[in-house]
């Protein structure tokens, strides 16, 4: 029986096992997908099990998307350019790291019926998924990307990777067409303390968080008449791309799939 894992810390909240196991069953693939909470010191031994074919594939989540890179033989161009890996496969005896968060975000935005080209984007947060979001946004030809993070140094580190980024201090607000919450604020009911009430008509408020379905950030935006979207489709599409890499099959995304992710 083939074995797949998502590794991270914390990992209890991950809905990847639910989604992948559903697709595995639907496609009659004899495999099982589980979660594994690890520490940084465990990365090498977990990845070596892929080389030894004891594990057939790994998804990587926060905070190890960069930390796994030294243990891999090869990176996809997207993983290389973002220095972020969320999917590992053994290919011709080489450990290859892919980044499917980029495709996940891109497809989620494309489904929105919102033309993002030429738009001004304001990103809150500078954590694990942000390089992928920036990479995707640049490919979609947005006009400007502005970033704000509580720890400014992390925003500055991103700027050394993506030179055209603009940085504003945490707590300050700038003009934008699209605002993306990529912080963990909202996972536990927190509110983001920024005053959006001025000019937010016809803006898009996007939250990478999908559980809860509607964070306070999105609730506020909706009240003020903005378009809102959570990170569920991004999550589903990154999983879709990983499934394709491992099994060579495009799994179905339908209302049943979206429904099973609501039952937590
Ligand atoms: P990591 O930082 O390990 O990659 P993450 O979940 O990907 O983890 O990112 C968490 C993000 O939420 C970071 O941008 C973090 O800001 P810091 O870089 O300053 O830590 C942000 N965040 C978490 N709690 C926050 C809070 N109470 N106020 C503001 N930002 C917060």
Per-position DSSP letters for 184-247, written without gaps between them: STTTTS--------SS-TT-EEEES--SSSS-HHHHHHHHTT-EEE-SHHHHHHHHHHHHHHHH
Closest of 148, 138, 69 to residue 102, by C-alpha: 138
How much is the pLDDT for 13?
Answer: 84
- How far apart are the CA of 85 and the centre of ligand 1, in A? 19
- Binned at pLDDT 50, 70 and 90, residue 264 comes out as low
CA 165-166-170 angle, to 5 degrees, is: 120
Q: What's the pLDDT tens digit per position in 88-134?
A: 999 999 999 999 999 999 999 999 989 999 999 999 999 999 999 99
Same fold, 2-99+236-262 and 103-230: yes
Other Cβ atoms less than 10 A from the Cβ of 230: the count is 23
- Binned at pLDDT 50, 70 and 90, residue 30 comes out as very high
Residue nearest to atom 14 of ligand 1 (CA): 125
- Using most ligand atoms within 8 A of CB, pick from 84, 101, 150 the residue to mutate for ligand 1: 150
How much is the pLDDT for 201?
Answer: 74
Q: What's the pLDDT tens digit per position in 206-254?
A: 999 998 899 999 999 998 889 999 999 999 999 999 999 999 999 999 9
Residue nearest to atom 16 of ligand 1 (CA): 150
Residue nearest to atom 29 of ligand 1 (CA): 150
For residue 35, is pLDDT > 80?
A: yes
**CA–CA distance, 109 with 233 (Å, rounded to integer):** 9
CB 78 within 8 A of CB 62: no
**CA–CA distance, 187 with 214 (Å, rounded to integer):** 10
User: Would you list the DSSP string of 92-116?
Assistant: TTEEEEE--HHHHHHHHHHTTT---
- How far apart are the CA of 172 and the centre of ligand 1, in A? 16
Which tokens belong to 85? 């890996």
How much is the pLDDT for 151?
Answer: 98
Pocket of ligand 1 (CB under 6 A): 62-63, 125-129, 149-151, 154, 183-185
Which tokens belong to 41? 């010191």
Name which CATH class applies to 103-230.
alpha beta
- Using most ligand atoms within 8 A of CB, pick from 126, 132, 172 the residue to mutate for ligand 1: 126
Strands 57-60 and 87-91: antiparallel
- Looking at per-residue pLDDT, the higher value among 200 and 262 belongs to 262
CA 99-104-105 angle, to 5 degrees, is: 110
For residue 44, is pLDDT > 60?
A: yes
* Architecture field, domain 2-99+236-262: 3-Layer(aba) Sandwich (3.40)
How much is the pLDDT for 194?
Answer: 86
- Binned at pLDDT 50, 70 and 90, residue 196 comes out as confident
pTM for the whole structure: 0.95
| Residue 223: Cβ-neighbour burial (10 angstroms; 0-12, 13-18, 19+) | exposed
| Catalytic residue (choose from 65, 107, 203, 232) | 65
- How far apart are the CA of 40 and the centre of ligand 1, in A? 18
Residue nearest to atom 23 of ligand 1 (CA): 184
Residue nearest to atom 21 of ligand 1 (CA): 183
How much is the pLDDT for 202?
Answer: 79
- How far apart are the CA of 77 and the centre of ligand 1, in A? 26
- Binned at pLDDT 50, 70 and 90, residue 195 comes out as confident
- How far apart are the CA of 169 and the centre of ligand 1, in A? 14
138 in active site = no
Domain chopping of the chain, boundaries:
2-99+236-262, 103-230
């Amino acid at each position: 029986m083939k074995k797949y894992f998502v590794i991270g810390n914390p990992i209890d909240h991950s809905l990847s096992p639910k989604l992948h196991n559903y697709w595995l069953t639907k496609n009659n693939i004899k495999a099982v997908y589980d979660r594994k909470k690890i520490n940084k010191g465990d990365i090498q031994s977990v990845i070596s099990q892929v080389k030894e074919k004891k594990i057939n594939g790994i998804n990587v989540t926060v905070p190890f998307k960069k930390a796994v890179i030294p243990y891999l033989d090869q990176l996809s161009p997207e993983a290389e350019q973002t220095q972020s890996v969320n999917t590992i496969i053994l290919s011709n005896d080489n450990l290859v790291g892919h980044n499917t968060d980029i495709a996940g975000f891109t497809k989620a935005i494309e489904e929105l019926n919102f033309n993002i080209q030429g738009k001004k984007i304001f990103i809150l947060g500078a954590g694990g998924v942000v390089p992928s979001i920036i990479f995707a946004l640049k490919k979609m030809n947005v006009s400007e990307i502005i970033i704000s993070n509580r720890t400014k140094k992390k925003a500055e580190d991103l700027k050394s990777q993506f030179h055209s980024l603009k940085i504003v201090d945490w707590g300050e607000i700038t003009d934008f067409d699209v605002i993306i919450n990529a912080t963990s604020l909202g996972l536990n009911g927190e509110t983001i303390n920024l005053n959006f009430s001025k000019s937010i008509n016809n803006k898009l408020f996007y939250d990478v968080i999908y559980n809860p379905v509607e964070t306070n950030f999105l609730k506020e935006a909706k009240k003020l008449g903005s378009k809102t979207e959570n990170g569920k489709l991004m999550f589903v599409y990154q999983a879709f791309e990983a499934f394709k890499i491992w099994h060579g099959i495009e799994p179905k995304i339908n209302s049943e799939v979206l429904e099973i992710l609501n039952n937590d």
